[in-house]
C-alpha cells in the first residue's frame, strides 16, 4: 500500500470510528461530523493546554486539558456504544461551558471565538433543527446573561458593549443560516428517500413481472413439448384408409396416429355403423 493510500485509509478510519455495520447515509453523516469536531476541537484544546501550562496559567491549562479529556472520552464511548445523541450532548455542553469559563478569565482568543461561533453549526447538524435550536438558544441566552451581568461580579471579565453585540448578532445570524440549510437538507434527504423507496418498489414489481413471465414461458415450453402436430400432405388409401409413412409402409389409421401423435386411439362404433351392424 502506498503512503497516500495508507494516509487516506487512516483518515477514513478516524472519521468513521463508531459507525455500526450497514449504517445508512444519515448515520454516516452524523458520525463523520462528530468525529471531525472531536478531533479538531481536541487537537486545539491539547495545544492550548500545553501552551498555557508552559506559560504558567494553571487554571486555563487545566480547563483546556479537562475539556480535551471529556471530548476524547466521549469519542471513545462513541466507538463502543454508537450513541451519537448522548456523545453530541456531552461534547457540545462541555465546549459551551469551557468557552464561558474562558470568557470569565478574559482569555478569548480568535480560535476559541471561532469555535464558539461554530457551536450552532455542530449543534443543529448533530441534534437536528428542534433540539439543536433549543441548545443553541440556551447557549445564546447564557452568553447574553454573562455579558449583561459580568460587571456585577468580581473576578469576571467585563467586555465592551460593541463586542457582545457583535458576537451575539453573528451567533444569531449563523444559527438562522444553519437552521435554514439543515431544513433544506432534511427536505432533500426525505425526497431522496421517497425516490429510493419508489425505485425499490418499481424494481420489486419488475422482478415479480419477470418471474411471472418466466413461469409463463416455462409453462408454454412444457405445453409445446407435449404437443405433436401433423403437417403436410398425408397419403391415404381411398379404399382402406391406410396411411403411407415416410418409409413407404402403409399403416392403419390407429397405428399411424399412435406413432406420430400423443393421442391414444380408443376403438368404438359411431351411430351409423351401429345401425348397420344391427340391421
User: pLDDT averaged over consecutive 10-residue blocks of the chain (279 residues)?
Assistant: 63 67 75 78 83 84 86 78 79 81 70 68 82 85 82 76 79 86 86 90 93 90 65 75 80 76 72 73
Query: Other CB atoms closer than 10 Å to residue 60's CB: what's the count?
Result: 19
pLDDT score recorded for residue 198: 92
Residue 249's H or E segment, with its range, is none
Asked whether the beta carbons of 124 and 182 are under 8 A apart, the reply is yes
Q: What angle do CA 18, 20, 22 make, to 5 degrees?
A: 145
Dist. CA 64–CA 37, nearest whole Å: 16
Q: Cell triple for residue 216?
A: 409463463
Do the beta carbons of residue 168 and residue 160 sit within 8 Å?
no
Spell out a b/e string for 179-196, using b for 16 or more CB atoms within 10 Å of the CB, else e.
beebeeeeeeeeeeeeee
Q: What is the rounded distance in angstroms from the CA atom of residue 89 to the CA atom of residue 41?
A: 15
Amino acid at each position: 500500500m502506498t503512503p497516500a493510500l495508507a494516509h487516506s485509509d487512516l483518515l477514513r478510519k478516524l472519521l468513521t470510528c463508531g459507525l455500526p455495520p450497514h449504517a445508512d447515509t444519515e448515520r454516516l453523516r452524523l458520525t463523520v461530523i462528530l468525529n471531525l469536531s472531536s478531533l479538531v476541537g481536541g487537537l486545539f484544546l491539547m495545544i492550548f493546554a500545553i501552551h498555557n501550562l508552559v506559560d504558567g496559567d494553571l487554571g486555563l491549562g487545566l480547563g483546556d486539558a479537562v475539556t480535551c479529556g471529556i471530548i476524547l472520552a466521549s469519542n471513545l464511548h462513541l466507538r463502543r456504544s454508537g450513541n451519537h445523541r448522548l456523545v453530541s450532548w456531552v461534547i457540545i455542553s462541555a465546549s459551551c461551558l469551557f468557552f464561558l469559563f474562558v470568557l470569565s478569565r478574559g482569555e478569548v482568543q480568535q480560535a476559541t471565538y471561532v469555535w464558539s461561533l461554530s457551536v450552532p453549526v455542530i449543534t443543529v447538524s448533530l441534534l437536528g433543527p428542534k433540539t439543536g435550536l433549543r441548545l443553541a438558544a440556551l447557549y445564546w441566552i447564557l452568553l447574553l446573561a454573562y455579558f449583561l451581568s459580568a460587571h456585577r461580579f468580581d473576578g469576571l471579565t467585563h467586555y465592551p458593549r460593541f463586542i457582545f453585540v457583535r458576537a451575539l448578532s453573528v451567533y444569531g445570524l449563523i444559527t438562522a443560516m444553519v437552521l435554514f440549510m439543515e431544513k433544506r437538507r432534511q427536505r432533500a434527504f426525505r425526497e431522496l428517500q421517497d425516490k429510493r423507496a419508489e425505485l425499490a418498489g418499481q424494481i420489486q414489481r419488475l422482478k415479480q413481472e419477470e418471474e411471472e413471465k418466466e413461469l409463463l414461458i416455462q409453462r408454454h415450453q412444457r405445453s409445446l413439448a407435449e404437443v405433436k402436430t401433423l403437417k403436410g400432405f398425408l397419403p391415404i388409401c381411398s379404399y382402406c384408409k391406410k396411411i403411407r409413412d415416410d418409409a413407404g409402409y402403409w399403416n392403419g389409421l390407429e397405428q399411424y396416429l399412435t406413432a406420430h401423435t400423443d393421442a391414444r386411439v380408443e376403438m368404438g362404433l359411431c351411430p351409423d355403423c351401429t345401425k348397420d351392424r344391427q340391421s
